[in-house]
């Protein structure tokens, strides 16, 4: 879903596999939980729509979009686009398709290596950006500058971790494109 035509197709596709409303399709164990996210068996934030309906046309399209896009755009942009598209397509599940819930699914529930690796690189890059601010300190009185050895070591360690992630080959991972058929 890299261009407007794809997004339009995603939004307006209405084939045989179009998702029925959740109340008609939820598994038995979920039949009350979806209607009542406050059920004691579910986390306070409610069930995950993308997990609940995994395997349906909309969730399959969403998974494909996440895997194809996660290494090309920011996670926030991805979440915004996906949450918006799914909310338009499934207004009946609006409360379960917030950016926070979609983001939690991508960050915490998905195990696809491309997604996991991309999130780790994003997180380490953010840490790296913060650390570099601490590597050189300046005395407010004398304006003399000094290298903060501890911060510099941490920065280099994070840089090494990022480099190590880039050396990972997906085919050697437990979850990969072959084992996950994606």
Q: Which positions lie near Zn ion, rule CB under 5 A? A: 48, 50-51, 105, 109
Calpha distance 101→103 (Å, rounded): 5
Non-local (6+) Cβ contacts of 21 within 8 A are 92
* Smallest distance from Zn ion to CB 33, Å: 14
Q: Which is nearer to Zn ion, 51 or 164 (CB)?
A: 51
Q: Which is nearer to Zn ion, 48 or 66 (CB)?
A: 48
Q: Which is nearer to Zn ion, 93 or 124 (CB)?
A: 93
Is the C-alpha dihedral spanning 90, 93, 95, 101 positive or negative? negative
What spatial distance separates the first Cα and last Cα of the chain, rounded to whole Å?
A: 15
Question: Which residue has 């939820």 as its token pair?
Answer: 26
* Smallest distance from Zn ion to CB 62, Å: 10
* Smallest distance from Zn ion to CB 143, Å: 51
């Amino acid at each position: 879903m890299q261009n407007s035509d794809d997004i339009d197709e995603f939004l307006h596709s209405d084939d045989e596999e179009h998702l029925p409303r959740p109340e008609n399709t939820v598994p038995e164990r979920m039949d009350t939980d979806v209607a009542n996210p406050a059920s004691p068996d579910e986390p306070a934030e409610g069930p995950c729509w993308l997990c609940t309906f995994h395997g349906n046309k909309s969730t399959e399209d969403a998974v494909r979009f996440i895997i194809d896009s996660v290494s090309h755009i920011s996670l926030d942009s991805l979440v915004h686009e996906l949450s918006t598209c799914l909310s338009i397509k499934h207004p009946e599940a609006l409360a379960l398709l917030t950016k926070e819930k979609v983001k939690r699914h991508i960050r915490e529930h998905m195990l696809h290596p491309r997604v996991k690796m991309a999130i780790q690189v994003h997180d380490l890059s953010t840490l790296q950006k913060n650390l570099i601010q601490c590597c050189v300190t300046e005395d407010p009185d004398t304006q003399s500058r000094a290298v903060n050895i501890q911060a510099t070591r941490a920065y280099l360690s994070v840089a090494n971790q990022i480099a190590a992630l880039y050396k990972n080959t997906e085919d050697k991972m437990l979850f990969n494109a072959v084992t996950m058929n994606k």
